[in-house]
C-alpha cells in the first residue's frame, strides 16, 4: 500500500544535513520581527504568533538544540513589544515549548494532518495560558477572534515546516557523489 506525499510526515524518512545554530537563531529573530509588524484590527487577530510556531518547529525537529531559555527570552521581548503583562508571553512560550519537546517523537512520527492537529492543540493551549494570565491580572477580556490565530498558526504549519526544512535537505549533486 503506497502513501501519498500529502499524508507523509515532513521528513519523509530522508536524512537531513545538520542544522546550524546561526540558522535557528536567524529564523527565531525573523519570526520576532514578523510578529512586530503592525496590522489593522481583525487582521491582527487573525495573524498567527510566528515566534511560537517557529519555537514549536525547532522543539519538535531539533529538541536537543532548543530549550526553554530561547522561549523565555523571546517571550520577554514580546511582552515588552506588546506592552503586555510582563512574563505573559514568556510563560506561555515556555509551556508551548516544553509541550512540543515532550511530544516531539510522537509529532515527528505522524503524517502532516495529525501534526497540524497537535500544533493546533499546542497553540490553543498557549493562547489559553495567556488568556488565563490576563484574566487573573484583571485585564480586559479578548475579542471574539482571539483563538483564530491558533487556527491560522496551525494552517501555516505545513508551509513553515517545509520552508524551515528546505535548507537542510541534501542537494541532488551531494546524493550522486556518495
Q: In sequence order, what E strands does 47-169 have?
A: none
pLDDT greater than 50 at residue 18 = yes
Q: 21-170 adopts what CATH topology?
A: Arp2/3 complex 21 kDa subunit ARPC3 (1.10.1760)
Regarding predicted confidence, which is higher, 136 or 141?
Answer: 136
Q: Which of 167, 170, 152, 164 is nearest to 57 (CA)?
A: 164
Q: What is the pLDDT of residues 68-84, one digit of tens each?
A: 999 999 999 999 998 88
d(CA 170, CA 42): 41
pLDDT (0 to 100) of residue 142: 78
Please give the mean pLDDT across all residues of the chain: 87
Q: What is the pTM of this model?
A: 0.86
Q: What is the pLDDT of residues 100-128, one digit of tens each?
A: 999 999 999 999 999 999 999 999 999 99
Domain ranges of the chain: 21-170
pLDDT greater than 90 at residue 138 = no
d(CA 143, CA 97): 26
pLDDT (0 to 100) of residue 101: 96
Regarding predicted confidence, which is higher, 155 or 9?
Answer: 155
Dihedral class, residue 87 (left if φ above 0, else alpha if ψ from -120 to 50, else beta): left
d(CA 69, CA 30): 18
pLDDT (0 to 100) of residue 5: 45
98 Cβ contact partners less than 8 Å away, ≥ 6 residues apart: 68
pLDDT (0 to 100) of residue 2: 40
At residue 35's C-alpha, the angle toward residues 32 and 37, to 5°, is 120
Cell numbers describing residue 111: 503524517
Contact present, 153 and 123 (Cβ < 8 Å): yes
Count CB atoms within 10 A of the CB of residue 59. Answer: 27
> What proportion of the chain, given as a percentage, has pLDDT over 90?
63
At residue 98's C-alpha, the angle toward residues 97 and 101, to 5°, is 85
d(CA 8, CA 106): 14
pLDDT greater than 70 at residue 61 = yes
Q: Which residue has the cell 512540543?
A: 100
Amino acid at each position: 500500500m503506497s502513501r501519498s506525499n500529502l499524508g507523509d510526515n515532513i521528513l519523509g524518512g530522508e536524512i537531513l544535513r545538520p542544522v546550524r545554530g546561526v540558522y535557528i537563531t536567524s529564523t527565531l529573530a525573523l519570526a520576532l520581527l514578523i510578529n512586530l509588524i503592525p496590522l489593522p484590527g481583525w487582521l491582527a487577530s487573525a495573524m498567527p504568533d510566528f515566534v511560537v510556531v517557529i519555537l514549536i518547529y525547532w522543539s519538535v525537529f531539533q529538541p536537543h538544540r532548543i530549550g526553554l531559555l530561547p522561549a523565555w527570552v523571546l517571550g520577554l521581548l514580546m511582552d515588552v513589544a506588546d506592552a503586555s503583562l510582563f512574563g505573559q508571553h514568556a510563560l506561555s512560550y515556555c509551556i508551548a515549548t516544553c509541550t512540543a519537546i515532550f511530544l516531539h517523537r510522537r509529532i515527528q512520527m505522524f503524517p502532516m494532518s495529525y501534526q497540524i492537529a497537535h500544533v493546533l492543540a499546542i497553540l490553543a493551549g498557549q493562547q489559553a495560558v495567556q488568556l488565563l494570565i490576563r484574566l487573573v491580572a484583571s485585564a480586559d477580556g479578548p475579542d471574539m477572534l482571539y483563538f483564530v490565530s491558533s487556527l491560522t498558526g496551525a494552517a501555516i504549519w505545513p508551509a513553515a515546516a517545509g520552508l524551515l526544512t528546505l535548507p537542510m535537505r541534501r542537494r541532488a549533486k551531494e546524493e550522486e557523489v556518495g
